[in-house]
Amino acid sequence: MKLKTLSIAMMGLAAPGLVAADELLEMQKNDNNWVMPAGDYANTRYSELTQITKDNVKDLNMAWSFSTGVLRGHEGNALVMDGTMYVHTAFPNIVFALDLNNDGAIKWKYEPKQNYDETVPVMCCDTVNRGL
């Protein structure tokens, strides 16, 4: 009986993760989305978008830029979903949502409350953040 109860409990805990994985795979089918740091579970870093080609890449210019205001290492990748780019910073770990349909205008910003003197001394390898 205990094993059966434990099995049911474990399935209940795993189910939300499976649903989330399915949602990611569905969003990944849209080439305008970049929902994982390397593009997909295989880490291919490949997109089938055709707007940039070997013939026109030389003509590219900067469309817009964005500064997080944090001067430490930025080691994570941006994620893109439905016209919004999500970018994070090194400490103080700010997350920005940028509107790709409006020259990268900030849609919202999340800045967690953290105590610098308690947090930074116990961080490994500088104050970088490698992912959302």
Provide the token pair at 95: 């997350």
Could you give the count of Cα atoms lying within 13 Å of 64 in the half-sphere of its Cβ? 11
Same domain, 131 and 76: yes
**Number of structural domains the chain divides into:** 2
Residues 16 and 73 in one domain: no
Same domain, 48 and 81: no
pLDDT at 15: 46
| 125 and 68 together in one domain | yes
Its domain, for residue 101, covers: 62-132
Q: Note whether 94 and 70 are within 8 A (CB).
A: yes
Amino acid at 66: F
**pLDDT at res. 12:** 52
Clarify whether residues 23 and 83 are in a common domain: no
Q: Is 26 exposed, middle or buried (0-12, 13-18, 19+ CB in 10 A)?
A: exposed
pTM to 2 decimal places: 0.74
Question: What is the distance, to the nearest Å, from the Cα of residue 99 to the centroid of all Cα atoms in its chain?
Answer: 14
User: The domain that contains 93 carries what CATH number?
Assistant: 2.40.10
Q: Provide long-range contacts, Cβ within 8 A and 24+ apart, for 112-120.
A: 116/91, 116/92, 119/91, 120/91
Q: Identity (one letter) of the amino acid at 13?
A: L
Residues 41 and 85 in one domain: no
- Do residues 46 and 79 both lie within one domain? no
DSSP 105-121: EEEEEE-----HHHHGG
How far apart CA 2 and CA 71 sit, in angstroms, is 53
pLDDT in tens, the chain (132 residues): 566 665 555 545 444 444 567 888 888 888 888 988 888 888 898 888 899 999 999 999 999 999 999 888 888 889 999 999 999 998 888 999 999 999 999 999 999 988 888 877 777 776 766 677
Final residue of a structural domain among 53, 70, 96: 53
> Is 72 in the same domain as 100?
yes
